[in-house]
């Protein structure tokens, strides 16, 4: 009998499954957990508490796309397998494509004119995305799916991995859309700073579906102030919620979504289906999917 520590939604999803006992996070019974299923909304502190008490824990599955808030070194030291969900791939990839289209079609300018009651043909200076160039930083499932969708619309797509191999900056001067879909690691922290932003051509857009700390927000604000960038579509930030005094608010060429790129109808169901598939693999001795490399941090 396997003991799985998870929240109420997880326990509901596991009710019909024999051979497992689902227990609440924080309950005394969680100390016997073999598996921790971290649902969206479960804090890193909850995970750490369960790790501390459940000395027989063998596997942690997280319903988050990123793992930067988890104690990766502790998991590796105890030889605990960590896997992550695939439930958000399509939603985030669609958000990226939408962001490119928002930028290309001048949607922020049209929205501003609409709010002001102004009829201004051409105010957004719309352009075709066919023939433009996107540079995607991050070649995981999200980056690959978004890249495939953009390529289908005849965007020239280049992809660099999360390790950002030397020389990738040479692609920046020809980039219209700099798309971030990489994990936050020591290597990618503030990867996008003044030097990278300064190497982009005038009118280029930054699109961030990664983690806020991948971008130096002060450098981004300065680049926007200098009006070299066309603008930015941002879903994540170094501090969330984004503080009211952030220089990124109230800019006509910046579109902000509140860390919602992952959100789409049916997300909870997709998370559960993904975990239950992994659980079947675990119980039958098959290799798990999307195992996180604690050293690489993704």
Catalytic one of 259, 263, 281, 290: 259
Give SS3 for 61: strand
Residue 295 pLDDT greater than 90, yes or no: no
Q: Minimal CA–CA distance to 95: which of 188, 184, 177, 207?
A: 207
Helices assigned H by DSSP within 153-290: 194-199, 217-225, 267-283
Residue range 89-256 forms a domain whose CATH class is alpha beta
Q: How much is the mean pLDDT over the chain?
A: 96
CATH code for 2-87+266-283?
3.40.50.720
Q: How far apart are CA 252 and CA 109, in angstroms?
A: 7
Convert 44-70 to b/e letters by CB count within 10 Å (16 or more is b): eebbeebbebbeebebbbbbbbbbbeb
Q: Please tell me the predicted confidence (pLDDT) of residue 265.
A: 95
Q: Please tell me the predicted confidence (pLDDT) of residue 164.
A: 61
**Number of alpha carbons in the 13 Å side-chain half-sphere of residue 19:** 6
pLDDT tens for each residue of 67-118 = 999 999 999 999 999 999 999 999 999 999 999 999 999 999 999 999 999 9
Q: Please tell me the predicted confidence (pLDDT) of residue 167.
A: 85
Mean of pLDDT values over 127-143? 97
Q: Please tell me the predicted confidence (pLDDT) of residue 16.
A: 87
pLDDT tens for each residue of 171-215 = 999 999 999 999 999 999 999 999 999 999 999 999 999 999 999
DSSP state of 140: S
Q: Minimal CA–CA distance to 214: which of 174, 242, 187?
A: 187
259 is catalytic: yes
Mean of pLDDT values over 45-71? 95
- Its pTM stands at 0.94
227 is catalytic: no
Same-fold call for 2-87+266-283 versus 89-256: yes
- The percentage of residues in the chain with a pLDDT greater than 70, rounded to a whole number, is 98
156 is catalytic: no
Catalytic one of 240, 269, 283, 289: 240
pLDDT tens for each residue of 145-163 = 999 999 999 999 999 986 6
Q: Please tell me the predicted confidence (pLDDT) of residue 212.
A: 98
Catalytic one of 38, 39, 61, 211: 211
Mean of pLDDT values over 14-41? 95
**Token pair of 220, please?**
């981004």
Q: Minimal CA–CA distance to 158: which of 142, 174, 166?
A: 174
Place of tokens 């280029």: 204
In this structure, the chain runs to a length of: 298
Residue 51 pLDDT greater than 70, yes or no: yes
**Token pair of 176, please?**
């219209």
Mean of pLDDT values over 278-295? 96
Residue 165 pLDDT greater than 70, yes or no: no
Domain boundaries, the chain: 2-87+266-283, 89-256
Q: How far apart are CA 275 and CA 61, in angstroms?
A: 7
Helices assigned H by DSSP within the chain: 8-13, 44-53, 72-77, 89-104, 107-115, 141-152, 194-199, 217-225, 267-283
Three-state DSSP string of 148-193:
HHHHHCCCEEEEECCCCCCCHHHHHHHCCEEEECCCCCCCCCCCEC
Residue 230 pLDDT greater than 70, yes or no: yes
């Amino acid at each position: 009998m396997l003991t799985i520590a998870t929240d109420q939604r997880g326990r509901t999803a596991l009710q019909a499954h024999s051979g497992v006992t689902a227990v609440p996070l924080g309950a005394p019974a969680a100390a016997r957990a073999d598996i921790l299923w971290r649902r969206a909304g479960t804090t890193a502190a909850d995970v750490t508490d369960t790790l501390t008490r459940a000395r027989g824990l063998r596997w942690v599955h997280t319903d988050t796309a990123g793992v930067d808030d988890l104690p990766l070194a502790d998991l590796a030291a105890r030889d605990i397998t960590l896997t992550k969900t695939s439930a958000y791939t399509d939603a985030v990839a669609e958000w990226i494509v939408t962001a490119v289209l928002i930028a290309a079609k001048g949607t922020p300018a049209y929205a501003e004119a609409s709010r002001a009651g102004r009829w201004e043909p051409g105010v957004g200076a719309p352009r075709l995305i066919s023939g433009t160039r996107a540079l995607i930083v991050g070649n995981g499932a999200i980056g690959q799916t978004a890249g495939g969708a953009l390529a289908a619309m005849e965007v020239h797509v280049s992809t660099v991995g999360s390790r950002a191999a030397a020389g990738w900056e040479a692609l920046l001067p020809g980039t219209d859309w700099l798309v971030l879909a990489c994990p936050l690691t020591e290597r990618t922290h503030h990867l996008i700073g003044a030097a990278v932003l300064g190497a982009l051509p005038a009118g280029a857009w930054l699109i961030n579906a990664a983690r806020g700390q991948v971008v130096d927000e002060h450098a981004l604000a300065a680049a926007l102030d200098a009006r070299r960038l066309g603008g930015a579509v941002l879903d994540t930030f170094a501090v969330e919620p984004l503080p009211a005094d952030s220089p990124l608010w109230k800019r006509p060429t910046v579109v902000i979504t509140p860390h919602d790129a992952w959100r789409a109808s049916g997300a909870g169901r997709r998370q559960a289906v993904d975990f239950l598939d992994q659980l079947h693999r675990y119980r039958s001795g098959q290799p798990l999917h999307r195992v996180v490399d604690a050293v690489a941090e993704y």
